Amino acid sequence: MIVKKLFLISGLFLVGLFSVAYAHTVDSVGDYRLEIGWMNEPVVSGETNGIELFVSLMEHDLPLEEQKFKNGITGLEETLKMQLVYKDQKIMLPFEADHNIPGKYYAFVDPTTAGYYQTNILGKIGETNVSLSMHPPKVNDRTFIEFPPRNNTQQQILEEYSSIQEQVDEIRDSLNRIESSGELNNVSYVGVGLGIAGIVIASIAFSKSKK
């Protein structure tokens, strides 16, 4: 019985965790409800995404947490902008209107770094001045969804050296076959030697480029 309760509590905790991680953020300015979130969730670094904004009138008889988006406010793409902030770096992004959903706007962005971003919604909604900071869900590192995992630098070096070693072995085998047949002359020695030298130089250059 205790085990069942623990599983139930764990399940509820996980559901709550994911709902918070991927939920939109809601706030208000004057008589207006504003909701932001990533267009594609879960969001990962290094992939083009966007912040979407929903703007609608507040229902005065309901608390903010019970407000729903409906009867969106249109025409705000000319009066609202978004400042996206990551630590000490900032960029100003214009909003575009979603023609299929009145009151929905979006701004494309490619979050290159995992972590928490801040959005500052700036401008005007009608006669109401807007200067509101909101926080969309965390950007995950792209390894969160990568499969199979990418090779690390050390593995890449080993693979490249393995390939180079195979080429050297092939040239050495060819040299031994030619020498055994008695057909090897000075010109052949020079050609094969240059081939081996080229591979060795290439391997040294590759190893330096990886440091």
Confidence category of residue 137, pLDDT binned at 50, 70, 90: very high
Highest mean pLDDT among 29-33, 177-181, 197-201, 202-206: 29-33
Residues contacting residue 72 through CB under 8 Å, at least 6 positions apart? 54, 55, 56, 101, 102, 103, 104
Q: How far apart are CA 115 and CA 64, in angstroms?
A: 27
Write down the pLDDT at residue 167: 73
| Tokens encoding 117 | 């971003």
CA 38 vs CA 50, 64, 116: distances in Å: 6, 20, 12
The pLDDT tens digits of the residues spanning 73-110 come to 999 999 999 999 999 999 999 999 999 999 999 999 99
Q: How far apart are CA 204 and CA 44, in angstroms?
A: 36
Whether 172 shows a pLDDT value over 60: the answer reads yes
The pLDDT tens digits of the residues spanning 144-157 come to 777 777 665 555 56
Whether 38 shows a pLDDT value over 80: the answer reads yes
Higher pLDDT pick, 205 / 51? 51
Q: How far apart are CA 152 and CA 141, in angstroms?
A: 16
> What ranges make up the beta strands (E) of 63-115?
80-86, 89-94, 96-97, 104-109
Whether 158 shows a pLDDT value over 50: the answer reads yes
Beta sheet of 25-29, edge-to-edge order: 25-29, 32-38, 49-57, 104-109, 96-97
Looking at the domain that runs over 24-140, which CATH code has it been given?
2.60.40.10
